[in-house]
Structure 1
Amino acid sequence: MTKLLKGTALITGASSGIGAFYADRLARRGYDLIIVARNQESLSRVGEDIANATGRSVTTVRADLGYREDLLKIEGILRSDASITMLVNNAGVGAVEPLLMSDVDAMERMISVNVTALTRLVYAAAPSFVARGHGTIINMASALGIAPEVLNGVYGATKAFVIALTFSLEKELAQKNIRIQAVLPGAVETPFWESSGGSLDRLPDQIVMKAEDAVDAALAGLDMGELITLPSVPDIDDWTAYEAARQKLMPNLSRNIPARRYMEAALASR
């Protein structure tokens, strides 16, 4: 397992909820922080509280990752600040309405943050981490990445992208002393839910996790060396079986002839 070195953690979407708790927990672990979010007032309040409580250096950067100029600013920080040892890709936009009730422009904006911005930040951080010989990239995905039919399918698809990218990053970077993790929480008690057009009041209490518990579980999973962390899943053997089934498919995903069932059906239809 790659040893995590302290330094500076850059956390996006850090003005509330999961991102704010990541900032708190990582500062208490000895990291200095660069915290990023759209709301400067909330961001400054989080930064001041954490700095006072932990004595760590906390730098706030107001940025809306849906805007290219702001995104490029954060990319520049990741490339140029050699103290950064961790990127927490937490910023995201959500949606709960089904496709036929969703605005396609809103879906495009969601893709720009959840997919494009996250990807560009990974591209900014990964080469820098490899050049420095160490680093950690945490990508906030969602349980909906493997259950996209539950709510808005575009949102689920953006999180499926995050999971797929994380698998690829692990294959490419694990031997270069870079730690990779995707976190797949279920419903979490944060302002994110309401901003996505939903309401936690509609959900049973037993399926909604507190944000601090989700972050504590995620960091425990990171400490355990997990590539995929599912804070809500009681039995890790369920994920192991899921992943084993995926691996079993891989040798046969590309062959020079169609599967027999299709060949037989094709012959029968002639």
Structure 2
Amino acid sequence: MTTHSSVLVTGASTGIGATYAERFARRGHDLVLVARDQARLDALAARLREEHAVSVDVLRADLTEAADLTTVEARLRNDARIGILINNAGLAQSGGFVGQTSESIDHLVALNITAVTRLAAAIAPRLAQAGEGAIVNLGSVVGLAPEFGMSIYGATKAYVLFLSQGLSLELSPKGVYVQAVLPAGTRTEIWERAGIEVSNPSDLMDVGELVDAALVGFDRRELVTIPPLQDAAHWNALDGARQGLLADLRQAHAADRYRAVS
């Protein structure tokens, strides 16, 4: 991507999204910042314009609201300057599965799955036609770990990983780069907003360190970037085991261990 491409960042008013915005502004990219908090968006936009001499548009939107989501989709479809989407907006889950209400489930799925998918779908055809561009989807290591107990949240993040892998297979031959970023615990407001008390904040990664590591993966064109993973061989082994499992499938017949014993 050239530095003339604009970057649209969701969840941009604070935390990971705001840090992505600052880092891309530092690289010379113009920005479109999307979030619910108008005052924070305006303050961030003013600072980035002043510090980095880039153009920054603010688009206030709640991506769980149909009309707002449609507005952001239209911007992604129609604004040819936007060449990078940072699909960052997300919501965490507090409490176990049996404690969730229908409303909380709908809200979580709407932001973590529906919005991510529809925004990617809005920009992907245009990027594929142009033969360049990037879609970055923020997942979580929780999507690899049902043991962590955040069943719905983890399931939404497992979806984000699968979606990213599938999009990469489809779009990378057309020149479009897709990256899944899987943070672990990071010091952002997501915990407070979800009503989750963090016992030891020092155990969480600084948001700047997280985004800087993710951008190293971005520049290297990694498909899956896991900043807290110390040994990449573990991810390679996991993905290799998955591919080995697929190679062992025999669709026409059940495995011998499932055959009835006469």
TM-score for both structures, normalised by structure 1: 0.94
Counterpart-to-counterpart distance in 2, 1:254 and 1:225: 33
Structure 2 partner of 1:252:
248
- For the 8 Å contact 1:96–1:151, the answer to whether it is kept is no
Structure 2 partner of 1:69:
67
CA shift, 1:203, in A, is 3.6
1:149 and 1:107, CA in 2 relative to 1: closer, same or farther beyond 3 A? farther
Is 1:235 the counterpart of 2:227? The answer is no
The residue type paired with residue 209 of structure 1 is M
Is 1:223 the counterpart of 2:219? The answer is yes
- SS of 1:219's equivalent? helix
Stretch deviating more after TM superposition (129-138 or 16-25): 129-138
Deviation string 1:58-91 (CA, Å, 9 cap, x unpaired) is 0000000000100000000001100011000000
Q: Please, which runs of 5 or more residues in structure 1 have no aligned partner?
A: none
Counterpart-to-counterpart distance in 2, 1:160 and 1:195: 21
Counterpart-to-counterpart distance in 2, 1:156 and 1:101: 15
Deviation string 1:182-237 (CA, Å, 9 cap, x unpaired) is 0000000001111112122x14623x101111100000111112100001011111
- For the 8 Å contact 1:139–1:183, the answer to whether it is kept is yes
CA shift, 1:254, in A, is 5.0
Counterpart-to-counterpart distance in 1, 2:228 and 2:114: 27
TM-score for both structures, normalised by structure 2: 0.97
1:99 and 1:203, CA in 2 relative to 1: closer, same or farther beyond 3 A? farther
Query: How many corresponding residue pairs?
Result: 261
Structure 2 partner of 1:10:
8
Structure 2 partner of 1:211:
207
CA shift, 1:96, in A, is 2.8
Structure 1 partner of 2:78:
80
- SS of 1:65's equivalent? coil
Structure 1 partner of 2:18:
20
Counterpart-to-counterpart distance in 2, 1:145 and 1:88: 19
Q: Please, which runs of 5 or more residues in structure 2 have no aligned partner?
A: none
The residue type paired with residue 217 of structure 2 is G
- For the 8 Å contact 1:97–1:197, the answer to whether it is kept is no
- For the 8 Å contact 1:32–1:57, the answer to whether it is kept is yes
Counterpart-to-counterpart distance in 2, 1:103 and 1:191: 22
Counterpart-to-counterpart distance in 2, 1:149 and 1:257: 32
- For the 8 Å contact 1:181–1:226, the answer to whether it is kept is yes
Counterpart-to-counterpart distance in 2, 1:146 and 1:92: 17
1:117 and 1:253, CA in 2 relative to 1: closer, same or farther beyond 3 A? farther
After TM superposition, the runs of 4+ consecutive aligned structure 1 residues lying more than 4 A away are none
Counterpart-to-counterpart distance in 1, 2:187 and 2:102: 27
- Which one of the candidate residues 21, 26, 29 is aligned to 1:31? 29
- For the 8 Å contact 2:85–2:136, the answer to whether it is kept is yes
- For the 8 Å contact 1:137–1:181, the answer to whether it is kept is yes
Counterpart-to-counterpart distance in 2, 1:149 and 1:260: 30
Counterpart-to-counterpart distance in 2, 1:254 and 1:176: 31
CA shift, 1:104, in A, is 2.7
Structure 1 partner of 2:88:
90
Is 1:40 the counterpart of 2:34? The answer is no
CA RMSD in angstroms comes to 1.2
Structure 1 partner of 2:132:
134
